[in-house]
Structure 1
Amino acid sequence: MDRKKKIMVIDDDKNIVELISLYLEKEGYSVVKYHSAVEALENYSKDTPELVILDIMLPEMDGYEMCTEIRKMSNIPIIMITAKGETFDKVLGLELGADDYIVKPFDGKEMIARVKAVLRRYSTNNTSKKQLVIPNLTIDMADYSIIYHGKKMELPPKELELLYTLASKPNRVFTREQLLDKIWGYDYIGESRTVDVHIKRIREKLNKDNNWEIKTVWGVGYKFVL
């Protein structure tokens, strides 16, 4: 695992949280722990997890509500934790957008297998649909739209293609000429300033606090830094 995938675990039972975290960290995942959905939601944008493991029965805000709120911001995988035999809970969770569920008491190996399967399925789906998901930003090439900090936005086609090209290869430096060739085509009659103008527009529109940035590599071009 080149970069540790971050997983958010939410359960009001501290022992359950520690047990799940132990299994996940042993497999090389990074874990953020919460015992309250309200607190987890307040810190969601800061933590930017790549998967959420969420208990249904929580104080203040239950797992169903939390799942609904996450789906307003992102389509990242969600695995619900439910008590044994609560069939209604499982169905409702899946209808609200959960990807899978774990039944208490659970086996650690089974839980890890489900986590890996959901992440693998999610990654495959994103690739086939040309949808890219990173913290606070989902780029969907199917309808040329983005979801930025939970809100859907539309960008002009060239801006979106430029953003997608950079974001799909994090930390790789693209020269202006490479971007011109890739986005505008080899026959494009223009100059590298075209790229600069489009980058400037993208930065002006996506100017909130992010865990990533489009960085200028002086004298060369640009890179998308996570």
Structure 2
Amino acid sequence: MPETILLVEDETSLISYLKTELEFEDYQVLIARDGLAAWNQYQIHRDHLDLMILDWMLPKLDGLEVMRRIRKHDDLPIIMMTARDYIGDKVAGLDNGADDYITKPFEIEELLARIRVIIRRQNKQTQVLQKYQVADLTLDTKARQVMRGHQLVQLTQREYNLLLTLLRHQDEVQTRDELLNQVWGVNFDGQVNIVDVYIRYLRNKIDHAQSQPLIETVRGVGYLIRSKQNEIE
């Protein structure tokens, strides 16, 4: 089944060009021409979207506001696409949840390569076939299900990947840079605080009101799940 990309752009000629190129690469392409339409399309198709290419400067809602809204719900991969070349704008886009950033004008081969990297990373993160159990927390990668005791824990894709990474490296301190590389697939000092934000989200869901919190901060440099881990084939 082809991956589905939501292309959000208000320039007609660029929409036509990118849609043609993406469909030639066997992607299914949905179109939104303003920020409000992008938000509506996301709400309708969110369970079937694999990636969003999101322009920054849009009518009705700008790209940053669209991304902020989406990040309240899940971790759909987003590539920001903009004519802005100021480093502060790139940092703002990445800090607010963009997975990647491309500046206009660009060669289509570069955009396609960035898409392939993100899709490969997403596919790789869903191909693990073990279960992990630490204390009363269980993560089943086949069912993509997390339980704390008898309670089902609803996680976004990014929160799930972050927890899975900590469980795979149980008893090993994972620095913020290491978590960025493994979960976000980037190495950018300016967005290290994203790790802290998502650790907080994760703690609120799996450790809130628990007598035995699982995620520890170690010497202010990283995070650790220290409890004994059992892997079940």
TM-score (norm 2): 0.55
**Partner SS state of residue 29, structure 2:** strand
* Aligned partners of 2:35 and 2:60 also within 8 Å: yes
- Give the letter for the 1:80 counterpart: M
- Once the two structures are superposed, what CA deviation does each residue of 1:64-87 show, in whole Å capped at 9, x if it has no partner? 111111111221100000215222
Q: What's the secondary structure of 2:154's corresponding residue?
A: strand
SS at 1:22 equivalent: helix
Q: Which residue of 1 aligns with 2:215?
A: none
Work out the CA distance in 2 between the residues paired with 1:78 and 1:52: 5
Partner residue in 2 for 1:30:
28
Question: Letter of the aligned partner of 1:87 in structure 2?
Answer: I
What amino acid sits opposite 2:146 in the alignment?
A: M
**What is the CA–CA distance in structure 2 between the aligned matches of 1:95 and 1:141, rounded to whole Å?**
27
Shift of residue 108, structure 1, vs aligned partner: 0.7
- For residue 2 of structure 2, what is the aligned residue in structure 1? 4
Shift of 1:126: 4.1
Q: 2:140 and 2:93 mapped to 1: Cα distance? A: 24
SS of the residue aligned with 1:101? strand
Query: Do structure 1's residue 93 and structure 2's residue 93 form an aligned pair?
Result: yes
Distance 1:142 1:21 in 2: 41
Residue 139 of structure 1 and its aligned partner are, at CA, apart by: 4.7
Going from structure 1 to structure 2, the CA distance change for 1:46 and 1:27 (only over 3 Å counts) comes to same
Which residue in the other structure is 2:154 paired with? 146
Is the partner of 2:72 in helix, strand or coil?
helix
Structure 1 residues 180-195: aligned runs within 5 Å: none
Partner of 2:109: 109
1:34 corresponds to which letter in structure 2? A
How far has the Cα of 1:147 moved from its partner? 5.1
Q: Is the 8 A contact 2:32 2:41 kept in 1?
A: no
Three-state SS of the structure 2 residue aligned to 1:43 is helix
- The verdict on how the C-alpha distance between 1:101 and 1:140 changes in structure 2, with shifts beyond 3 A counting, is farther
Query: In the alignment, what sits opposite 2:177?
Result: none
* 1:44 partner SS: helix
Contact 1:73–1:147 (CA under 8 A) maintained in structure 2: no
Contiguous gaps of at least 5 residues in structure 1: 133-137, 153-226
Q: What is the TM-score when the length of structure 1 is the normalising length? A: 0.56
* 1:131-181 alpha-carbon deviations (Å, 9 max, x no partner): 87xxxxx95538652259xxx9xxxxxxxxxxxxxxxxxxxxxxxxxxxxx
Percent of matched pairs sharing the same residue: 33
How far apart in 1 are the matches of 2:86 and 2:11? 18
Q: Which runs of 5+ in 2 are unaligned?
A: 133-138, 160-233
What's the CA shift for 1:63? 0.7
Structure 2 CA distance for partners of 1:111 and 1:37, relative to 1, 3 Å: same
Name which structure has the greater RCO, CA cutoff 8 Å, separation 6+.
2
Quickly say closer, same or farther: Cα 1:84–1:142, change in 2 above 3 A. Answer: farther
Q: Is the CA contact 1:50–1:77 (under 8 Å) kept in the aligned structure 2?
A: yes
Alignment of 1:129-140 (within 5 A): 139-140=144-145
